């Protein structure tokens, strides 16, 4: 039986019922208790069926579950359910075989993140789980991720991750692509984001009294500073990146509507892999598809559009169309 968040809520609700020796829980009571828990924890109002509860009980009694010591006691013609051991609870048990298999699958995937320092402990934990639960030791890779273990700056990832988690202030020496010398900044680190196979740190920069971002491959040193940490109380980073492609966000810029004509032979690819989450179809004909996205016009969206340039035409806004045209003309000069 596949497990998920809702199943876990039901299992723990049943566990509480079976361990409550002050009340008799018949099947109707178990259904009511599970429905109440699902509503409280997940907001689910659709009632579950008797069959689901019986399947849950069978799973909990199985070796794949917890092998719970469940009794079925008669009260006249009815049956109520109770643990034979009043001290038993699935909360007191080690993870079961089914959970161990799921955890092993998860850990096997995570071990594919080679080069990410904060994941070094996973292989050791995987071996311990395999030994404890007598799981197969086969860990050959069958999932590939776009990860570059040779990328500069990854050695700082763990330190930056830890600083965010433990609310530490950092002194960072950084040299941007257009800078000739390293510049030191006092940073209150808030967020790490990956884009285009590179990692970026976002945090409050005391030098500018504003939010800054730093590509990890342009960082030259990181050290802790004994100062009070300024927490992020305003920025929801999930929303922060909603109107952009990439990591360059102009906080006062309003996203613009971009109309793009896409050739029919390219359309299946862009349909399955949208340029941006706001992408929607405006019109279609036998030759092309017109789409609209709403984004800030940063250099990442321009780079993304350039990657499709032989199959798209920017129609609006005129400012972006002119910018693309100028770049194409400059590029074309190199071939004459």
> Among residues 30, 49, 32, which one has the least CA distance to residue 40?
32
43 part of a folded domain = yes
169 part of a folded domain = yes
**pLDDT score at 152:** 80
246 part of a folded domain = no
Which residues constitute the domain of residue 317? 256-333
In DSSP terms, which residues pair with 70 in a beta bridge?
83
> Among residues 205, 185, 317, which one has the least CA distance to residue 259?
317
Give the tokens for residue 11: 């299992």
Give the tokens for residue 235: 């920025």
Phi and psi at residue 244, to the nearest 5°: -130, 160
Q: Is 22 in the same domain as 57?
A: yes
Final residue of a structural domain among 53, 68, 92: 92
Q: Is 231 in the same domain as 260?
A: no
Domain total for the chain? 3
Domain of 284: which CATH number? Answer: 3.30.70.100
Q: Are 315 and 321 in contact (CB under 8 A)?
A: yes
Q: Is 169 in the same domain as 230?
A: yes
Q: Is 14 in the same domain as 86?
A: yes
Q: Is 225 in the same domain as 265?
A: no
Final residue of a structural domain among 240, 264, 281: 240
Q: Is 227 in the same domain as 289?
A: no
119 part of a folded domain = no
Q: Is 167 in the same domain as 233?
A: yes
Q: Is 260 in the same domain as 221?
A: no
Angle at 243 between CA 236 and CA 314, to 5 degrees: 170
d(CA 105, CA 123): 12
Q: What is the pTM of this model?
A: 0.63
136 part of a folded domain = no
Q: Is 160 in the same domain as 211?
A: yes
Final residue of a structural domain among 210, 240, 270: 240
221 part of a folded domain = yes
Domain of 74: which CATH number? Answer: 1.10.10.10
Q: Which residues of the chain have pLDDT under 70?
A: 1-4, 96-97, 107-150
**pLDDT score at 173:** 95
Complete edge-to-edge strand list for the sheet that includes strand 256-263: 280-284, 288-295, 256-263, 312-316
**pLDDT score at 238:** 86
222 part of a folded domain = yes
Domain of 213: which CATH number? Answer: 2.30.30
């Amino acid at each position: 039986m596949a497990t998920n968040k809702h199943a876990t809520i039901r299992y723990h609700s049943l566990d509480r019922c079976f361990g409550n020796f002050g009340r008799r829980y018949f099947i109707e009571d178990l259904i009511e208790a599970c429905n109440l828990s699902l509503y409280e924890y997940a907001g689910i109002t659709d009632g579950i069926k008797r069959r689901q509860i019986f399947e849950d009980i069978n799973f909990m009694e199985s070796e794949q579950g917890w092998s719970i010591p469940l009794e079925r006691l008669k009260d006249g013609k009815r049956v109520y359910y109770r643990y034979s051991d009043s001290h038993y609870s699935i909360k007191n048990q080690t993870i079961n075989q089914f959970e161990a298999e799921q955890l092993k699958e998860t850990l096997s995937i995570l071990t594919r993140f080679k080069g990410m320092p904060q994941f070094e402990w996973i292989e050791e934990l995987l071996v311990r789980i395999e030994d404890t639960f007598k799981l197969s030791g086969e860990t050959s890779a069958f999932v590939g991720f776009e990860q570059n273990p040779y990328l500069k700056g990854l050695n700082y990832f763990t330190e930056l991750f830890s600083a965010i988690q433990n609310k530490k202030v950092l002194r960072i020496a950084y040299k941007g692509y257009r800078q000739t010398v390293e510049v030191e900044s006092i940073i209150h680190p808030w967020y790490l984001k990956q884009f285009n196979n590179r990692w970026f740190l976002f945090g409050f920069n005391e030098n500018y009294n504003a939010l800054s971002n730093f590509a990890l491959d342009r960082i030259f040193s990181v050290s802790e500073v004994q100062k009070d940490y300024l927490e992020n109380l305003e920025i929801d980073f999930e929303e922060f990146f909603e109107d952009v492609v990439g990591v360059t966000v102009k906080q006062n810029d309003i996203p613009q509507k971009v109309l793009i004509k896409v050739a029919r032979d390219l359309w299946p690819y862009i349909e399955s892999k949208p340029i941006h989450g706001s992408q929607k179809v405006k019109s279609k004909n036998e030759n092309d598809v017109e789409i609209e996205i709403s984004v800030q016009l940063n250099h990442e969206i321009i780079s993304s559009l350039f990657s499709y340039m032989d199959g798209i035409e920017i129609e609006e806004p005129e400012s972006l169309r002119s910018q693309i045209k100028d770049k194409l003309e400059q590029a074309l000069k190199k071939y004459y």
